[in-house]
Amino acid sequence: MPDLISLDKIKRHYDVGGEIVRALDGVDLTIKQNEYISIMGPSGSGKSTLMNMIGCLDSPSEGIYEFEGELVHEMDDNQLASIRNRKIGFVFQTFNLLPKATALRNVEVPLIYANMSRRDRIQKAEKALIAVGLKERMHHKPNELSGGQRQRVAIARALVNDPSIILADEPTGNLDSKSGVEIMKILDTLHDSGNTIILVTHEEYIANHADRSIHLFDGKIKEDRKTNKVKSVDQ
């Protein structure tokens, strides 16, 4: 199977008041299609920076980043926006939905930026919401939905453009345990149906949903191993 993502000696340095912070300090990483990876590490280890880097929100200070053969580290803002739009689906800890828009509208937004016609957009958005089990809540706004439902809207939004990779940053961090289990079940199902998923988490039991676990420490990969995978159990 070809490499989906390849990071070669990626560095990301920030200049904070004259002091250089090495958020990423030479990360090598390859991710193949349909992998299920967790990224772990203490705070300040560079998890978020790596996540932003893979998600094409950030560009490396040094190193080579290839995404499906495209050289991300050479891209300008517009190309990065386009690759985020077409190939990456984000799921955030705080959901990051547009508060004043309905669930359907939220899911529709990425398709707007993909210049899809309105009819196709609504059709696809509805399909994605049905896939995460929110058929009945499509026309509700985020403040009318529970945390678990909001995260499912976010997952639908991440999925709607058929991305190459789903990036989930602490997807269960703001949820009660029952909703957390539901969300992990959805992610597991997505993986089973062929999606590539990267989970950022500091919870061991969440990380164990993945097949492969990467531990970061001080901006470097300290450990990269297979996990004792647990399948989410039906309750």
For binding to another protein (CB under 8 A), which residues are involved? 52, 55, 57-58, 77-78, 81-82, 84-86, 90, 92, 96-98, 100-101, 109-110, 112-115, 117, 157, 161
Nearer to another protein, 64 or 109 (CB): 109
Nearer to another protein, 112 or 230 (CB): 112
Instruction: Report whether 199 contacts 207 (CB < 8 A).
Output: yes
Query: Which lies closer to another protein via its Cβ, residue 10 or residue 212?
Result: 10
Please report how close the Cβ of residue 205 comes to another protein at its closest, in angstroms. 26
Residue 156 vs 183, nearer CB to another protein: 156
Identity of the residue, 174 or 208, whose beta carbon is nearer to another protein in the bound complex: 174
Place of tokens 């203490």: 42
Q: Using CA atoms, how far apart are residues 110 and 14, in angstroms rounded to an integer?
A: 30
SS (H, E, C) the chain: CCEEEEEEEEEEEEEECCEEEEEEEEEEEEEECCCEEEEECCCCCCHHHHHHHHCCCCCCCEEEEEECCEEHHHCCHHHHHHHHHHHEEEECCCCCCCCCCCHHHHHHHHHHHCCCCHHHHHHHHHHHHHHCCCHHHCCCCHHHCCHHHHHHHHHHHHHCCCCCEEEEECCCCCCCHHHHHHHHHHHHHHHHCCCEEEEECCCHHHHCCCCEEEEEECCEEEEEEECCCCCCCCC
CB of residue 23 to another protein, shortest distance in Å: 11
* Residue 192: CB minimum distance to another protein, A: 24
Q: Which is nearer to another protein, 98 or 230 (CB)?
A: 98
CB of 92 to another protein, least distance (A): 7
Residue type, 66: E
CB of 113 to another protein, least distance (A): 4
